[in-house]
């Protein structure tokens, strides 16, 4: 049950009844406690359109508003705000509802969509590096959230497995032999190949021929190519597993998968009378965009030599996704620099009829990861940071910290905590940021374990679990949230209760905006509300109904935190 939607509907219909047409109620959580739990801001705008006094109009709306079952008090404030103070008993009732609900009040969407989420998409010619991290983490979180809402989510790992660089890799593979050893470090292998390519003209020629042979379906080249991809994909899978990212081999559909379809894409653009020729290349002119010379942009789909480009592949992918996969919404989680490219591809796809107007094509952009010097994140020596190394460091840093903070536990425990905390901190630091802006990557900040970080949430969860362990040790029945009723007796309980009920509207907002940081912001408020409750309201030392109610609140909080972290792809721990 989306609390905000409930209020929105009630008040909107009151506004309508008051003569305000279909003006939205514009319900939002109140800015300050004295303004109640929620405020409706729509009366001012509606009154303006009607050319009446906003306060008077708000009065009329209140007359039409039947909300006494939900709100204990509704008042008009300022120029025409409606402030809503929710009824404690009603809050408690709704808490009972979500406690009994596996999905914690998040209702399945009335009309589920088929959503394709295109994310991660590393270049298989190289090892995964920090440049792939944000797409992988953000995309995975969005896929989980959309799935949780009941949508059919199809993950697509659009890996780069078909570029010209494969000619050079295959040639080098032939030269150095096919031992697994030579491919142990893909980054080294790539660098060696590149070096040969740049320095040896014969090698370069052979490499270029290899590309042609590969694309022509030459048996030997195909075999080597397949072998190379297997190794590279296995490496990716290792990273995904370690990261707790849900991508599998089944989600991989690389550029090569669209190869046979590319001539048809060009032919269909021609049929749609979009295709033009310029300097031997074929492409689409777009009046909507301009090039460097201030002329209309020309998007090339077929090179003068006959090869295809990424715009072509992306167009083929759109058609596959809307056609074969039946997607009605497609998300592209890539860095913001590709914004213009996608705007152009989407436009062409729509003009050509590859995607009908109802289908939502969305670029989900994100900014760069910067070092603390404000420049793109690199190793100290200026090299690319491998994802594997980064993850190893995350665990090492976390383990050092855990051993220091909580001494005297066994090694297995430290290893488990280090993984959950280290990887969690890394992912959370990324997700908590508004994805559109660049963000400064700093170990000490994300592992400082203070503020809006994964460990703070994990700690809140662990504290709750500890309460239940204590209760069990004492042999007392620890009533859970599904059985015991919740009563509100203290302000801290009330704050926590309202936060718990806002889980559903938060999830809806994340799905609508594709902004995971909204969920992180919510978690921080929820965990904060719990911490305050924890300090102010003794649980095990209280008695009777208060005790069982507080235990129920604890249990419900734990479940919401766990679910929210799970949707972000972050583990929880029974003990830290």
Partner RNA sequence: GCGCCUGUAGCUCAGCUGGAUAGAGCAGCGGUCUUCUAAACCGCAGGUCAGAGGUUCGAGUCCUCUCAGGCGCGCCA
Question: Where in 435-494 is the site for RNA (CB under 7 A)?
Answer: 436-440, 445, 448-452, 455-456, 459, 462-463, 465-467, 470
* Minimal distance, residue 255 CB to RNA, in Å: 6
Q: What is the DSSP letter of 436?
A: T
C-beta of 338 vs 489, nearer to RNA: 338
- Of 502, 507, 498, nearest in space to 90 by CA: 498
Which member of 13, 52, 72, 164 binds RNA (CB under 7 A)?
A: 164
Cβ–Cβ under 8 Å, residues 105 and 503:
yes
Cβ–Cβ under 8 Å, residues 223 and 229:
no
Compute the distance between CA of residue 471 and CA of residue 233 in angstroms, rounded to an integer.
47
Which member of 91, 99, 315, 401 binds RNA (CB under 7 A)?
A: 401
* Minimal distance, residue 360 CB to RNA, in Å: 13
Of 333-352, which residues contact RNA (CB under 7 A)? Answer: 336-341
Does 575 participate in binding RNA (rule CB under 7 A)?
yes
Q: Cα separations (Å) of 290 from 82, 248, 299? A: 48, 40, 11
User: Where do we find the tokens 């460097």?
Assistant: 292
Does 535 participate in binding RNA (rule CB under 7 A)?
yes
* Minimal distance, residue 406 CB to RNA, in Å: 4
C-beta of 35 vs 190, nearer to RNA: 35
Does 367 participate in binding RNA (rule CB under 7 A)?
yes
Backbone angles phi, psi at 370, to 5 degrees: -110, 155
In three-state secondary structure terms, 376 is strand
Give the binding-site size for RNA (rule: CB under 7 A).
105
* Minimal distance, residue 44 CB to RNA, in Å: 3
Cβ–Cβ under 8 Å, residues 161 and 229:
yes
Of 229-268, which residues contact RNA (CB under 7 A)? Answer: 255
* Minimal distance, residue 209 CB to RNA, in Å: 16
Q: Cα separations (Å) of 518 from 72, 268, 502, 512? A: 29, 41, 12, 11
* Minimal distance, residue 178 CB to RNA, in Å: 26
Window contacting RNA (CB under 7 A); options: 93-101, 224-232, 240-248, 398-406: 398-406
C-beta of 244 vs 424, nearer to RNA: 424
Which member of 56, 68, 406, 545 binds RNA (CB under 7 A)?
A: 406
Backbone angles phi, psi at 248, to 5 degrees: -130, 180
* Minimal distance, residue 57 CB to RNA, in Å: 11
Compute the distance between CA of residue 362 and CA of residue 319 in angstroms, rounded to an integer.
15
* Minimal distance, residue 433 CB to RNA, in Å: 5
Cβ–Cβ under 8 Å, residues 118 and 331:
yes
Listed in sequence order, the DSSP H helices in 155-305 are 165-176, 186-199, 201-216, 219-243, 262-271
Cβ–Cβ under 8 Å, residues 444 and 429:
no
Which member of 14, 317, 487, 515 binds RNA (CB under 7 A)?
A: 515
* Minimal distance, residue 180 CB to RNA, in Å: 27
Of 107-146, which residues contact RNA (CB under 7 A)? Answer: 123
* Minimal distance, residue 181 CB to RNA, in Å: 29
Does 269 participate in binding RNA (rule CB under 7 A)?
no
Does 204 participate in binding RNA (rule CB under 7 A)?
no
Compute the distance between CA of residue 139 and CA of residue 178 in angstroms, rounded to an integer.
34
Of 538-557, which residues contact RNA (CB under 7 A)? Answer: 538-541
C-beta of 89 vs 191, nearer to RNA: 191
Listed in sequence order, the DSSP H helices in 85-132 are 88-99
Compute the distance between CA of residue 210 and CA of residue 462 in angstroms, rounded to an integer.
56
Contact characters 282-301, RNA, x per CB under 7 A = -x-----xxxxxxx-xx-x-
Q: Cα separations (Å) of 224 from 202, 210, 227, 254, 517? A: 20, 11, 5, 17, 42
Window contacting RNA (CB under 7 A); options: 156-164, 170-178, 203-211, 386-394: 156-164
Which member of 384, 434, 482, 546 binds RNA (CB under 7 A)?
A: 434
Compute the distance between CA of residue 183 and CA of residue 239 in angstroms, rounded to an integer.
16
* Minimal distance, residue 185 CB to RNA, in Å: 22
In three-state secondary structure terms, 415 is helix
Which member of 152, 303, 351, 378 binds RNA (CB under 7 A)?
A: 303
Of 14-33, which residues contact RNA (CB under 7 A)? Answer: 26, 28-32
């Amino acid at each position: 049950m989306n609390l905000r939607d409930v209020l929105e509907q009630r008040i909107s219909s009151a506004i309508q009844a008051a003569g305000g047409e279909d003006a939205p109620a514009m319900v939002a959580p109140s800015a300050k406690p004295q303004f109640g739990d929620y405020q409706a801001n729509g009366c001012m705008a509606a009154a303006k359109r009607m050319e009446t006094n906003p306060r008077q109009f708000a009065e009329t709306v209140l007359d039409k508003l039947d909300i006494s079952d939900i709100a204990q008090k509704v008042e008009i404030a300022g120029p025409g705000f409606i402030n809503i103070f929710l009824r404690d008993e009603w809050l408690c009732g709704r808490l009972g509802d979500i406690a009994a609900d596996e999905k914690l009040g998040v209702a399945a969407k009335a009309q589920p969509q088929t959503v394709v989420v295109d994310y991660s998409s590393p270049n298989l010619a190289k090892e995964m590096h920090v440049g792939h991290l944000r797409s992988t983490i953000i995309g995975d979180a969005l896929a989980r959230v959309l799935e949780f809402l009941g949508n059919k989510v199809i993950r697509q790992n659009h890996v780069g497995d078909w570029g010209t660089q494969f000619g050079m890799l295959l040639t080098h593979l032939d030269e150095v032999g096919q031992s697994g050893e030579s491919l142990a470090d893909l980054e080294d292998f790539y660098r060696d190949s590149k070096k040969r390519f740049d320095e040896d003209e014969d090698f370069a020629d052979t490499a270029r021929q290899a590309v042609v042979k590969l694309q022509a379906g030459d048996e030997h080249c195909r075999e080597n190519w397949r072998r190379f991809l297997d190794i590279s994909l296995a490496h990716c899978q290792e990273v995904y597993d370690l990261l707790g990212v849900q991508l599998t081999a089944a989600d991989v559909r690389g550029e090569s998968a669209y190869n046979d379809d590319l001539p048809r894409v060009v032919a269909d653009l021609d049929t749609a009378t979009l295709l033009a020729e310029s300097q031997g290349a074929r492409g689409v002119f777009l009046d909507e965009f301009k090039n460097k010379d201030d002329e209309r942009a020309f998007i090339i789909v077929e090179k003068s030599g006959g090869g295809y480009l990424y715009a072509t592949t992306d167009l083929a992918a759109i058609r596959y996704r809307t056609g074969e996969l039946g997607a009605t919404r497609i998300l592209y989680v890539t860095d913001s620099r590709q914004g213009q490219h996608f705007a152009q591809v989407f436009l062409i796809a729509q003009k050509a009829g590859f995607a009908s107007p109802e289908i939502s094509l969305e670029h989900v952009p994100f900014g760069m990861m910067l070092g603390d010097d404000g420049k793109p994140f690199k190793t100290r020596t200026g090299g690319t940071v491998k994802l594997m190394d980064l993850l190893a460091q995350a665990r090492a840093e976390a383990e050092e910290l855990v051993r220091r903070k909580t001494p005297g536990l066994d090694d297995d425990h430290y290893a488990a905590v280090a993984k959950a905390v280290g990887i969690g901190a890394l992912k959370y630091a990324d997700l908590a940021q508004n994805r559109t802006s660049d963000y400064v990557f700093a170990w000490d900040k994300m592992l400082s374990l203070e503020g809006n970080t994964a460990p703070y949430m994990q700690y809140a969860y662990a504290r709750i679990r500890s309460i239940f362990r204590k209760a069990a040790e004492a042999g007392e029945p620890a009533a859970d949230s599904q059985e015991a009723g919740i009563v509100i007796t203290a302000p801290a309980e009330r704050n926590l209760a309202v936060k718990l009920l806002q889980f559903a509207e938060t999830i809806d907002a994340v799905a609508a905006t594709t902004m995971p940081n909204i969920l992180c912001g919510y978690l921080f408020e929820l965990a904060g509300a719990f911490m305050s409750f924890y300090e102010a309201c003794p649980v095990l030392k209280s008695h009777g109904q208060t005790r069982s109610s507080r235990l129920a609140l604890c249990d419900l909080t734990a479940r919401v935190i766990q679910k929210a972290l799970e949707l972000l792809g972050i583990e929880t721990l029974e003990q830290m």
